[in-house]
Structure 1
Amino acid sequence: MSTPPLYQLKAEFFKTLGHPVRICVLELLSSREYAVAEIIPEVGVEAAHLSQQLAILRRANLVATRRKGSTVYYRLTTPEVANLLTAARSILSGVLAGQAELLADLQAAPATVALPPSPRPA
Structure 2
Amino acid sequence: MSVPLYQAKAEFFRMLGHPVRIRVLELLQDGPKPVRDLLTEIEVEPSGLSQQLAVLRRSGIVTAKREGTTVIYELAGGDVAELMKAARRILTEMLAGKNELLAQLRESGSTVR
Shift of 1:3: 1.3
Name 2:45's counterpart in structure 1: 46
User: Structure 2: 5+ residue runs without aligned partners?
Assistant: none
Name 2:22's counterpart in structure 1: 23
| 2:102 alignment partner AA | L
State the TM-score, normalizing by the size of structure 2.
Answer: 0.96
Task: Quote the Cα distance in structure 2 between the aligned partners of 1:69 and 1:110.
Answer: 64
Task: Quote the Cα distance in structure 2 between the aligned partners of 1:109 and 1:75.
Answer: 50
% identical equivalent positions = 51
- Greater Cα radius of gyration, structure 1 or 2: 1
Match status 1:10 vs 2:23: no
Task: Quote the Cα distance in structure 2 between the aligned partners of 1:89 and 1:110.
Answer: 31
Task: Quote the Cα distance in structure 1 between the aligned partners of 2:78 and 2:7.
Answer: 23
User: Structure 1: 5+ residue runs without aligned partners?
Assistant: 114-122
Name 2:100's counterpart in structure 1: 101
Shift of 1:67: 0.5
Shift of 1:110: 3.4
The secondary structure found in structure 2 opposite 1:3 is coil
| 2:2 alignment partner AA | T
The number of residue pairs the alignment matches comes to 112
Shift of 1:52: 0.3
In terms of mean alpha carbon deviation, does 45-54 or 103-112 score higher? 103-112
- Give the structure with the higher percent helix: 2
Task: Quote the Cα distance in structure 2 between the aligned partners of 1:73 and 1:12.
Answer: 26
Deviations 1:52-77 (A, max 9, x none): 00000001100001110010000000
